[in-house]
Amino acid sequence: MLIQEAIPSMDSVRKNKKPFLLYMAHYTVHIPIISDITLIQKYNDAGLGTTQAKYASTIEGIDKSFGYIMKLSRRKKY
């Protein structure tokens, strides 16, 4: 969700060719744990309990979103 909002913001500042700050406040690691259901099974299969699997999938989701932002910024030369 944050990435969907970040991309248009990044595109608009790219047009202005000015420095910018992108603040990504990932709040999903707080209760209630809102995890990525597509990632949970991997951690369940690794032997983690339900709560730990939710946390692990959430952290992986944050990591993937940050990686996506970094790839995008390199490709578009922000």
Residue length of the chain:
78
pLDDT of residue 43: 95
Q: How far apart are CA 66 and CA 22, in angstroms?
A: 11
Q: Quick check: pTM over 0.75?
A: no
Q: Structural domain boundaries of the chain? A: 2-7+19-76
| SS3 labels along 14-60 | HHHCCCCCCCCCCCCCCCCCCCCHHHHHHHHHCCCCHHHHHHHHHHH
Q: How far apart are CA 52 and CA 17, in angstroms?
A: 42
pLDDT per residue as tens, the chain (78 positions): 677 888 888 888 877 777 888 888 776 667 778 788 888 999 999 999 999 999 899 889 889 888 998 998 888 877
Per-residue pLDDT of 40-56, as tens digits, reads 999 999 999 999 999 89
For 35, phi and psi rounded to 5 degrees?
Answer: -105, 165
